[in-house]
Structure 1
């Protein structure tokens, strides 16, 4: 339990969706009930959106041979968020990169990918293009071209954090922070001074302080903050060092001047899409984020930190 300003908070940490989950609430008495609701929500998201589970709704789309498939409202919402992100980023964030990710060897939970060091040939596959996916919200159906596999990894966790934070704040009537692998959404009344969030170049536990200069702590009162980077999820295939941020135009991991990009936006999903797109775009990404009016912190490969207007001033402590 921690105290921020005049308000006491309580936190829980565990793992789901292949990543670290952190829940913080401003009413400690409600932590356990909120945690149960969050676990149920994330289990539903996993059953709908996982590309690693053969029984997920998303996997069923891959086997539909181009026929329309009726999907749950949950998956329809997740797909709508992914397609909006693709449109907003001019295709830099594209849900049809699933086949490209699998060809690079990222075809199972990342802990298994990292441990698999078998020498295999590197196969490349460009994304089919998000405009080929048809989502009909009226009929609740999705049509994916035969041979195209979807990957919602670039948007689903951030969307799930947004959805969970809003749901828990309504149910509990208190301030809520939900972080899924660095994709952070907040809702409800924040602690005095705002939520204190540590932004760092390498994913790690809250109790593990990174090296000086590689992180800062900022205050957030609403919306979401997401950090995208190329250093956290890396593996080797066919003698190549690979990472999980793929350029849809080439099917290759992006070669970018940025190590990490952190963005603040009205929603965590918007922040995540903008940060991932900045990595794909590379040079000039800070100017595009400035034109969009999105506060951001970009860390170059050499450690140089660049911020855009509106990036929160550093604070003293982490939430």
Structure 2
């Protein structure tokens, strides 16, 4: 790695957002308070535009737009554009029109609320209408400041929004404060600017009994892990996970337990990881073509590395 001037001192802030852990680390400890303000403000803006679980969000209201062109904010435009680009890159394996299917499978409220009692769940759910389920990303039209979606279609930006938010937060902190920064949103990681002498050391693991390792990354890098082990819930007696196969309208077969990708952005890393889960055994050739560093754990626990994944370091945690 080419190193700019580095600092060993860092400061970290952490809190909970969107049902997951948010962590912010900066290489200039004196900037941590302002950096946290910047990140929190950006996440609040993203939530107001993109949340599928807020009845007052722009995204929620689109499902009731009657299929008409609807004006949207610059924030929602950016996040929908990213989701459509991800669909294009993956030939539809990552598709934002799976929201209706997720609703029908019971994922119709913030994930923490899925553990509520049945009576509480009804109150927590966003909307009760029958939604369109047979759709794909090509049916969404995005213009300069308007979007058109089929009537009763629910969009879900979960496969891209958190990762893009991490990228935007890291960039916003670095642009305003000049400090090196790492932002992690539920394990979706983005870095900008200078980094500590030892690099940003990332522990890659998705559970206490899962294979774990530590990798070192530098600046302007994204790391994301897609998993069939997280965000699971019971629906009509079946245990489901949140990564759907758009063609089958059901959770992807768990050929891979986890797929971790390193890329130039967290958005790209998460898009590739999610698409790999959906593609299953067919992902291997696609990943080789992309050439990105990838570490995948199969259903039987076998670890596969490709694309120049950094040599694993011993995980001493």
TM-score, L = length of structure 1: 0.90
For residue 146 of structure 1, what is the aligned residue in structure 2?
151
For residue 274 of structure 1, what is the aligned residue in structure 2?
272
Deviation at 1:125, TM superposition (A): 7.6
Q: 2:171 aligns with which of 166, 174, 179?
A: 166
For residue 115 of structure 1, what is the aligned residue in structure 2?
116
Q: 2:243 aligns with which of 245, 258, 277?
A: 245
For residue 27 of structure 2, what is the aligned residue in structure 1?
26
For residue 141 of structure 2, what is the aligned residue in structure 1?
134
SS state at 1:282 partner: helix
* Higher mean displacement: 83-92 or 306-315: 306-315
Instruction: Map residues 79-94 of structure 1 onto 2, 5 A cutoff.
Output: 79-94=80-95
Contact 1:124 1:251 in 2 (8 A): no
Instruction: Map residues 181-192 of structure 1 onto 2, 5 A cutoff.
Output: 181-192=186-197
Contact 1:17 1:42 in 2 (8 A): no
State the superposition RMSD in angstroms: 2.2
Instruction: Pick closer, same or farther for the CA change 1:116–1:215 going to 2, 3 Å.
Output: farther
Instruction: Pick closer, same or farther for the CA change 1:238–1:299 going to 2, 3 Å.
Output: same
Q: Tell me, in whole angstroms, the C-alpha distance in 2 between the residues paired with 1:317 and 1:174.
A: 28
The CA deviation string for residues 109-149 of structure 1, in whole angstroms up to 9 with x for no partner, is: 101113346899xx998551000000002xx0000110211
Contact 2:221 2:262 in 1 (8 A): yes
Q: Tell me, in whole angstroms, the C-alpha distance in 2 between the residues paired with 1:91 and 1:269.
A: 16
For residue 193 of structure 1, what is the aligned residue in structure 2?
198
| 2:213 aligned with 1:216 | yes
Instruction: Pick closer, same or farther for the CA change 1:127–1:228 going to 2, 3 Å.
Output: farther
For residue 254 of structure 2, what is the aligned residue in structure 1?
256
5+ residue gaps in structure 2? Answer: 1-5, 123-129
Contact 2:131 2:154 in 1 (8 A): no
SS state at 1:13 partner: strand
Contact 2:132 2:153 in 1 (8 A): no
SS state at 1:311 partner: coil
Q: Tell me, in whole angstroms, the C-alpha distance in 1 between the residues paired with 2:302 and 2:43.
A: 36
Deviation at 1:75, TM superposition (A): 0.5
Instruction: Pick closer, same or farther for the CA change 1:174–1:315 going to 2, 3 Å.
Output: farther
Contact 1:158 1:184 in 2 (8 A): yes
Contact 1:196 1:315 in 2 (8 A): no
Q: Tell me, in whole angstroms, the C-alpha distance in 2 between the residues paired with 1:145 and 1:117.
A: 30
For residue 16 of structure 1, what is the aligned residue in structure 2?
17
Contact 2:132 2:154 in 1 (8 A): no
The CA deviation string for residues 48-67 of structure 1, in whole angstroms up to 9 with x for no partner, is: 00010000010111110101
* Higher mean displacement: 13-22 or 292-301: 13-22
Q: Tell me, in whole angstroms, the C-alpha distance in 2 between the residues paired with 1:169 and 1:6.
A: 15
Q: Tell me, in whole angstroms, the C-alpha distance in 2 between the residues paired with 1:114 and 1:235.
A: 8
Deviation at 1:314, TM superposition (A): 2.4
Contact 1:165 1:176 in 2 (8 A): yes
